[in-house]
Amino acid sequence: MWSAIRRNGKANDKGMTLIEIMIVLAIIGGVMAMLGQKVMSNFQKAKTRQARAQLAEIGKALDLYNSDCNDYPPTDAGLRGLLNQEGTGCEGWGPEAYIKSSLMKDPWGNEILYENTGGNYALKSLGRDKKEGGSGYDADITNEEDAAKE
């Protein structure tokens, strides 16, 4: 079908018909659609894992800050309290930042939410939909989820 077909000893050099080309394109399109869904699903799963890893890293930085300052940064100072001493009221801060500023945004580009809960802290990423709540890949990701698993 794809190469010259011999009929009565003569070569048929007509090539592929329009229908044959359309069938091939439809098959390729179907395969690409299936692969595209799988790739996008894995991409979202990877972003969710990355967000959890970021919250864990920020948690370690907060614990280091706590060991130097005997408390977590005030809620109004937020995670900026891990970058510089301003507004923290901590005498034993630093001398270097506790985290990189790139960790302050989740994989979807949202600010990581932080709250000092009095003796502990809460961290939250709003997830893919950038709104409170949600399910699946749109669900909020918190440090409390990881603490409950341990």
23-28 average pLDDT score? 93
Confidence of residue 39 (pLDDT cuts 50, 70, 90): confident
- Mean pLDDT (the chain) is 84
Confidence of residue 8 (pLDDT cuts 50, 70, 90): low
In a domain, 94, yes or no: yes
CB 72 within 8 A of CB 116: yes
Domain tally for the chain? 1
Q: Is 115 buried (19+), middle (13-18) or exposed (0-12) by CB count in 10 A? A: middle
- Using CA atoms, how far residue 97 sits from 4, 9, 58, 91, 93, in Å, is 71, 82, 12, 14, 9
In a domain, 30, yes or no: no
pLDDT digits (tens, 9 = 90+) for 109-125: 999 999 999 889 999 99
pLDDT digits (tens, 9 = 90+) for 47-70: 999 999 999 999 999 999 999 989
- Using CA atoms, how far residue 83 sits from 58, 61, 112, in Å, is 11, 10, 14
In a domain, 9, yes or no: no
Q: Domain with 133 in it: what CATH number?
A: 3.30.700.10
- For 49, the token pair is 């894992």
Cα–Cα distance, 141 to 150 (Å, whole number): 16
In a domain, 34, yes or no: no
pLDDT at 9: 52
In a domain, 55, yes or no: yes
In a domain, 91, yes or no: yes
3-state secondary structure of 85: coil
- For 124, the token pair is 């939250």
In a domain, 24, yes or no: no
Domain that residue 71 falls in? 50-149
Reply yes or no on whether the pLDDT at 14 is more than 90: no
Instruction: With 0.85 as the threshold, say if the pTM is over it.
Output: no
